[in-house]
Amino acid sequence: MASASEHLTTEAVCRRAMKVAVSLMCTEAGFALAEDAALETLIEMVISFLTELGRSSRALSELSCRTEVMPGDVALALIEMGQRIDELVSYAKSTKHNVFIPPGHAPQQPPPRILQVGEKKGHPTHIPDYLPSFPDPHTYITTSTHKAPMTEYKLVREKAASQKRDVERALTRFIAKTGETESLFQDDPYAFPLIANRPKPLPYLESLLPKDEEGTAQDEEARIPGPGERTAATQAPPPSPPPDTPTKAENKSLNDSKTEANETESENPIDNPYLRAITMPKLKGVNRKAKW
């Protein structure tokens, strides 16, 4: 199949060249236009003439015990076919030949250049050279795309100071937009707004009271009542005496539960140091006299 396709391709190319030659001879004879059927007929006639000329020339060369055709064999074959050689020589020497300029070839576009990143690495010793080369290193080697962190002390301090300044500025603007503000200019209240100062009657209580909610709840539960306040135990009526007197075992269990409750209370003292009970220091020995 491959040889047949090649033969057909070669025959098509030769037939196309023969068509160009026949068209040129028709133009030299004075024809300006020709139909395809007429051209195909002339092409078949020329191909038949050349085939017969070649067969006769080969037969004459083999008759002379030669394998290659000589010019004498071709001339003798033309004479046997009834052609005049002198006309062929004069036709070859004439200068009035038309030439068909073949169509120009389009400039070949260069192949696009492939962008190469980095330098390609060669094969290691255990990989043969006939295998394809490695691709660009950036396709299979991990490279960090982030900047290296700053470790210089001066730059770190400057960055921290700028971040702190930005946070304070944003917080100030947020409080100024959401809370009460005071303006320096009466005409434009929105120019240079200042956070309004709210006076508090007891400002020192904020430093004494805990800030978290859990601590405030525990402090409220463990808060010591004042002299004017009464606890729930004092306000509640006294319990009615039980109908039956408790036994010794019951009294012992009640005492044990009371001692355990006292121990748990002593283990969990009040967290706020300002609300603890006052403890006076104990003086050792005899009272010392002050020296003037």
Per-residue pLDDT tens digits for 116-142:
777 778 888 899 988 988 888 877 877
Residue 233 pLDDT level (bands cut at 50, 70, 90): very low
Q: What CATH code is carried by the domain that includes residue 53?
A: 1.10.20.10
The confidence score (pLDDT) of residue 218 equals 54
Does a structural domain hold residue 251?
Answer: no
Closest CA to 64 of 76, 51, 79: 76
Total number of domains constituting the chain: 1
Tell me, yes or no, whether 38 lies in a domain.
yes
Whole-Å CA distances, 255 to 199, 249, 260, 264: 53, 10, 9, 14
How far is 60 from 56, CA to CA, in rounded Å?
Answer: 6
- Using the predicted structure, report yes or no on whether residue 232 has a pLDDT greater than 50: no
pLDDT band at 261 (very low <50, low <70, confident <90, very high): low
Evaluate whether residue 65 is within a structural domain: yes
Residue 78: exposure state from Cβ atoms within 10 A (0-12, 13-18, ≥19): middle
CA distances from 236 to 220, 226, 229, 230 (A): 20, 18, 14, 10
When mean pLDDT is compared across 8-12, 34-38, 178-182, 216-220, the lowest value belongs to: 216-220
User: For residue 67, is it within any domain?
Assistant: yes
pTM for this prediction: 0.34
In the chain, the amino acid numbered 155 is L
Look at residue 45 and tell me if it is in a domain. yes
| Residue 20: domain span | 7-93
Whole-angstrom distance, CA of residue 135 vs CA of residue 181: 65
Domain membership of residue 74 (yes or no) is: yes
Q: Is residue 12 part of a domain?
A: yes
Q: Is residue 259 part of a domain?
A: no
Q: Is 291 a residue whose pLDDT tops 60?
A: no
Q: What is the pLDDT of residues 63-118, one digit of tens each?
A: 989 989 998 899 899 888 888 888 888 877 877 777 777 777 788 888 877 777 77
